[in-house]
Amino acid sequence: MKIRPPAFVILMATALASSPVVSQSARTAAETGAESIAVPLRFDRYYTYEQVVEALRTLNRAYPQLTALNLVGRSEENREIWAMTVNNPKTGPALSKPGIYVDGNIHGNEIQAGEVCLGVLNLLLTRYGQNEAITKLVDRNAFYILPVVNVDGRYHFLRDANTSSSDRTLRIPKDDDRDGLVDEDAADDLDGDGNICQMRKKDPFGQWKTDPEDPRLMVRIKPEEKGEWTVLGEEGLDNDDDGRINEDPAGYVDGNRNWGYNWAPPYVQSGSGYYPFEGTGIRAIARYIEERPNIIVVYAFHNNGGMFLRVPGTKSDEPVHPGDVAVYDVLGQNAEQIVPGYRYLIAWKDLYSTYGDFTDFTYYMLGAYSFVGELFITDSETYRRGPATAPAAERPEDMMGGRRPERERERIRFSDFVTQGDLFRPWKPFKHPQYGDIEIGGWVKMSSRLPHPFMLPDLVHRNASAVLFAASQTPVISMEVTSTERVGNDLWKVRVRLVNDGGLPTATYQSLQKKPFAPDFLKVAGQGIKVVAGGVLRDPYRDQVDYKSQRPEVQPAHVPAHGKTDFQFLLSGKGTAEFSFVSRKAGTATARTMLNR
């Protein structure tokens, strides 16, 4: 039997429609700046841009020994972009350890991504010294957390009327309609409810009719049916008198299409901008990351679909080295198990292509294993019988807005009975200056792509835990001299072993192959010691060595995950021979041996 909401439910939804997802008290506090932020942080609500900054400052004040607050740069509207470093200086400087970089909210509407970043910080700091696993992670790694990339977008998304998908881009003015003006015809909140909903007009030739199962919804007509409604699009007016509505909103440079690897112009990639790093904040973040060459893992959180996406972003990109695919598989498959319903996917192949993508930049140019975390699964908004099961991740067609009628019916019942009407505005008549008599209603901005706040804590904790799993896999390097043997009057054969107890190699295999930066190296030194020959020991039993022809005292060094790399040197002289391994992303290790025995 199909359930139709009784009249009292529709009336209740109407009465509760003014109850926003961000409570009125929270909104008032946000506007006045009166609300104080406490540690541990709360994740049953969304923080405004100003509150995110205050949360970072509060954590910094509460944990001054473990944190450093860094002003990364400023946005197009001069807002500050902040990042926090978490590092235990007693176990070494941050740059001497593997680095974990996490950011979120590169698209202004994707606000729960910022909450996940704060969730990572909250876990690391509030449980350091109390939880053994987290204490070990902080002691051996450096964490760089940047909760809000698109600070202007977050500010305007929460402050202004929007849809769940608007205020996405960087605030770089653009003449979308080519009329010589910029950003002059955005959507308008015609009914003043703080949302940009949909407009519809009675039309017997329209393509929509009232859903017979729920009069608040519409379904497309079949070929033989008569129409009832024309959907006019988002609320708005013809602000520039050009005969069109909402055709020139603020922006459009997409922060995740503006990076300096495999960038493409706008006629290939919408939103890419006029040139790579056009965004002032994007340039500043690129500098920030490049100044931290120890970063070996990157998580960039977005907001919708239930996916962990790995590179490449396009089919034309360099293929991922098989050695790196194996590493990605370990991280991605474990992330799938940590966050039920999420899928580990290849970006271009399983979703769609993106040029100028951030994680392409961090993998191919900076040598970091990089993921995009697409967060909320709209199908988790359930109103159905049966045992609780993990929802299936969004199909691409669902994620982009092509939801099925039966799912829309379930979602509106979820709004009615689980969020008490927060997510949907009933249709109301409005006299439009261009369209005449219309109705305004539909899903509000804090819906569809964002979880209701009661669902937020689980989403934050699980995705933060996926980051911590990746941090638990970073390289752990040790070095030992395995043998020292006299082979002549003044000649010694010394074997040295580098061991990696971590689940990530000391560098990506792609960076070894393409060499975007200098390799890690093992160096031999010692007063009175001369390195006659040296190289990687391929077979210790048959004494097979790949001797390096030039400068044998410096050897490029790479250690696989849970593996080892052996070297053999022929040294002349007497005294102490010192071996030092220096890695861009895996720290350092040393060993020594005496040659006068």
Q: What is the DSSP letter of 380?
A: G
Residue at token pair 């350890």: 97
CA dihedral 413, 418, 423, 427 (to 10 degrees): 40
* Amino acid identity for residue 502 in this structure: G
By the 8 A CB rule, do 115 and 46 touch?
yes
> Residue 407 corresponds to which tokens in the numbers above?
């799912």
Residues in the chain: 597
Residue among 6, 11, 13, 3 at smallest CA distance from 422:
13
What residues contact 374, with CB distance under 8 A and at least 6 apart? 302, 303, 304, 305, 306, 307, 308, 309, 399
- The per-residue DSSP string of 152-219 comes to HHHHHHHHS-B-TT-S-SB-----TT-SS-SS-B----TT-SSB--EEEEE-TTSSEEE-TT-TT-EE
3-state SS, residue 423: coil
Q: What is the largest CA-CA distance in the chain?
A: 103
Domains and CATH numbers, the chain: 36-160+260-379+452-470 (3.40.630.10), 477-594 (2.60.40.10)
By the 8 A CB rule, do 477 and 500 touch?
yes
Backbone angles phi, psi at 452, to 5 degrees: -60, 145
Residue among 45, 51, 16 at smallest CA distance from 30:
51
Upstream peptide bond of 312 is cis (omega within 30 degrees of 0): yes
Q: Give the pLDDT score at 21.
A: 39
The pTM assigned to this predicted structure is 0.92
What gap in Å lies between CA 436 and CA 413, rounded to an integer? 31
* Amino acid identity for residue 217 in this structure: L
3-state SS, residue 544: strand
What gap in Å lies between CA 246 and CA 188, rounded to an integer? 8
Q: What order of strands is seen across the sheet that includes strand 99-104?
A: 67-74, 80-86, 142-146, 99-104, 295-301, 369-374, 307-310, 343-346
What is the helix (H) or strand (E) element at residue 413, kind and residue range?
helix 405-417
Beta strands in 358-490 (DSSP E): 369-374, 424-432, 436-443, 477-488
Residue at token pair 């929802």: 391
Residue among 112, 108, 100 at smallest CA distance from 142:
100
Q: Which residues pair with 544 in a beta bridge?
A: 539
Task: List the pLDDT tens digit at each of the 597 positions of the chain.
Answer: 333 333 333 333 333 333 333 333 334 334 434 468 999 999 999 999 999 999 999 999 999 999 999 999 999 999 999 999 999 999 999 999 999 999 999 999 999 999 999 999 999 999 999 999 999 999 999 999 999 999 999 999 999 999 999 999 999 988 777 878 887 778 999 999 999 999 999 999 999 999 999 999 999 999 999 999 999 999 999 888 888 888 778 878 999 999 999 999 999 999 999 999 999 999 999 999 999 999 999 999 999 999 999 999 999 888 999 999 999 999 999 999 999 999 999 999 999 999 999 999 999 999 999 999 999 999 999 999 877 665 666 555 444 345 689 999 999 999 999 999 999 999 999 999 999 999 999 999 999 999 999 999 999 999 999 999 999 999 999 999 999 999 988 899 999 999 999 999 999 999 999 999 999 999 999 999 999 999 999 999 999 999 999 999 999 999 999 999 999 999 999 999 999 999 999 999 999 999 986
What's the distance, Cα to Cα, between the start and end of the chain in Å?
Answer: 90
Residue among 354, 360, 174, 171 at smallest CA distance from 260:
360
Q: Give the pLDDT score at 38.
A: 93
Residue among 391, 375, 369, 368 at smallest CA distance from 461:
375
What gap in Å lies between CA 159 and CA 151, rounded to an integer? 12
By the 8 A CB rule, do 502 and 297 touch?
no
